[in-house]
Amino acid sequence: MDTIAGMTEFNAPIELNDGVSMPRIGYGTYKVGDDKARQTVETALELGYRLVDTAEMYGNEVGVGSAVANSGLPRADVFLTSKLWNDHHGYDSARRALEASLEHLGTDYIDLYMIHWPSPKQDLYVETFQALLKAKEEGLIRSAGVSNFLPEHLERVKDETGAWPSVNQVELHPYFNQPRLRAWHAERGIATESWGPLGQRTGSLLHERAVVDAATAHEKTAAQVVIRWHLQRECVVIPKSSHTERIAENLQVFDFALTEEELDAIDALETGERQGIDPGGHER
């Protein structure tokens, strides 16, 4: 795949199953405080990011919205995503959560709004998704997605609402690269979005031989190699950093392409173990 076409292919937006176009790489804001988010999101937008991912639970929607407003970019040029938290499951509660997020973000609409966790013990995620579909009809959101859903949750959503979510944002990195889930999503037109993409909660992914060798071969950083792996494995990826140099580096992944051998070697780092919570076995 070491061709100019292969290098630039993943720079184009992905078209979601509802026709909405979404950038393939964005800036994640998990554990970035409200004040810090103003600075880092402005920096990310200045550097060329056009997807910003936040959530009610992150407590930084005001800062993110302020950064978008101060960027000087037309609102339509920024793909803004947020998520509703577990204590807002249910139709009416979800609607109130969305209205609060719109106010915090200072925007008339959210490009992609997601259910943060299925919380299966509440048994309200289908009703919650119906609230998202209604909000989409009304133009309050452009696309309705989910996060941390398992196939059993997704199938029930489809059976009871008639619609697949456009995106499922899940833990995904070379240590837990979920090939079966990615293939399952692809068969149903659901985009896979990776959270925790650099796999650094446990272990030392950026020091793994397969990653280091690819970084050396392409004169890139280990993080750039892992981000490029996500793109070439057809995932939307949202790396996070509070350092300007790294925010810039994380976007500089369109001038090289990993070979199939390099991709396979990184795939082989799979451990089968999550670093985060199991969506099916823990009530968030």
Active site residue 49: no
Amino acid at 175: Y
Residue reference for tokens 């068969």: 187
Contact 147, 53 (CB under 8 A): no
DSSP code per residue over the chain: --SHHHHHGGGSPEEPTTS-EE-SB-EE-TT--HHHHHHHHHHHHHHT--EEE--GGGT-HHHHHHHHHHT-S-GGGSEEEEEE-GGG-SHHHHHHHHHHHHHHHT-S-EEEEEES---TTT--HHHHHHHHHHHHHTTSEEEEEEES--HHHHHHHHHHHS---SEEEEE-BTTB--HHHHHHHHHHTPEEEEESTT--SSS-GGG-HHHHHHHHHHT--HHHHHHHHHHHTTEEE----SSHHHHHHHH--SS----HHHHHHHHTT--S--SS--TTT---
The active-site residue out of 58, 113, 125, 175 is: 58
Question: Which residues carry out catalysis?
Answer: 58
